[in-house]
Structures are given as structure tokens and as C-alpha cells.
């Protein structure tokens, strides 16, 4: 009797598994497509100058920008690429890039932080801040960071 129950359960599992798998797969796609995120795909090594680049997910590129901040030991947090143009546009392909090391000591930044900011939202301009303002977490829809050593 026990063997028939096990065989019966196995047959139900065989029939239900494809539907369950499809449901979980679809749920994963929907969740990933709607959850805003940002990734940093490349950045210059510590001590070198260059550009930083990345990609956003789950946001309309035309309705968002990227805010970039770097931290330099003994100097604090700084807005990049410039104070005059602090927001980085996002391309139609959801990628972004900017000059990360526009100042003489920027190549020695140990931390990099990026935020996805909705269009029309003003960001704080950091010029040697000891820490980034909490408002950045509140106004952004996604954030990411990297450490450089």
C-alpha cells in the first residue's frame, strides 16, 4: 500500500513540476524586471585614473540619472564627475559611464558609491563630507558601492 502512495505522489509531482517550474521562472523574471538596481561593471584600479561604468536594471533610463561619489582618506566624500554636472545620464541601453578621477588625488579614492536618481530630483553636492547624507538613500531608487585598495 505504501508503495502505491509513493508512486501516486511521484506521478503527481511529474505532472505538476513543469507548471511549478514555469511559475517560479516567470516570477523570477517579473521580480528582477521590476526591482530597480544598479551595478558597477568597471572602474579604474586604486592609484590609477579613468572612467567608471555600469548598468541599471528595472528603471526607465530616460527618467533617471546616476549620482557618483568617491571617498578619499583624509579628504572625505566628493561628488563626481563635476560639481557643475553632478548627474550622469543613462543610455537607452541602460548603461552609464563617467570620468571618476577628475581631480589630482581622486585616483586614491578607497570607496565609490553610485545612486539611481529619478529625473528632477536634486542631489547634495559633496565637497569633503565626512559621510554621505542620509537623504541620498531616501531619494534614490537603487545604490551600489565598491571598495578600492
pLDDT score of 138 more than 70: yes
- Asked if residue 18 and residue 54 are part of one domain, the reply reads no
Name the residue range of residue 21's domain.
1-34
- Asked if residue 28 and residue 41 are part of one domain, the reply reads no
pLDDT for the residue numbered 27: 54
pTM (predicted TM-score)? 0.78
pLDDT digits (tens, 9 = 90+) for 2-43: 555 445 555 655 666 666 556 655 555 555 557 999 999 999
pLDDT digits (tens, 9 = 90+) for 92-137: 999 999 999 998 999 999 999 999 999 999 999 999 999 999 999 9
pLDDT for the residue numbered 10: 56
- Asked if residue 58 and residue 5 are part of one domain, the reply reads no
Residue entry with cell 555600469: 54
How many domains does the chain contain in total? 2
Supply the CATH number for residue 45's domain: 2.60.40
- Asked if residue 49 and residue 28 are part of one domain, the reply reads no
DSSP 28-73: HHHHHHHS-EEEEEE-PPTT---EEEEEEESS-GGGEEEEEEEEET
- Asked if residue 77 and residue 50 are part of one domain, the reply reads yes
- Asked if residue 19 and residue 92 are part of one domain, the reply reads no
Amino acid at each position: 500500500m505504501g508503495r502505491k502512495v509513493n508512486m501516486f505522489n511521484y506521478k503527481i509531482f511529474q505532472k505538476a513540476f513543469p507548471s511549478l517550474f514555469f511559475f517560479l521562472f516567470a516570477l523570477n523574471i517579473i521580480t528582477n524586471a521590476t526591482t530597480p538596481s544598479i551595478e558597477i561593471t568597471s572602474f579604474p584600479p586604486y592609484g590609477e585614473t579613468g572612467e567608471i561604468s555600469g548598468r541599471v536594471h528595472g528603471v526607465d533610463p530616460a527618467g533617471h540619472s546616476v549620482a557618483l561619489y568617491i571617498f578619499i582618506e583624509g579628504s572625505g566624500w566628493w561628488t563626481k564627475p563635476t560639481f557643475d554636472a553632478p548627474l550622469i545620464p543613462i543610455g537607452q541601453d541602460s548603461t552609464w559611464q563617467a570620468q571618476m578621477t577628475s581631480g589630482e588625488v581622486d585616483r586614491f579614492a578607497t570607496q565609490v558609491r553610485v545612486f539611481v536618481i529619478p529625473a528632477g530630483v536634486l542631489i547634495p553636492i559633496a565637497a569633503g563630507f565626512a559621510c554621505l547624507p542620509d537623504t541620498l538613500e531616501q531619494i534614490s531608487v537603487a545604490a551600489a558601492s565598491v571598495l578600492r585598495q
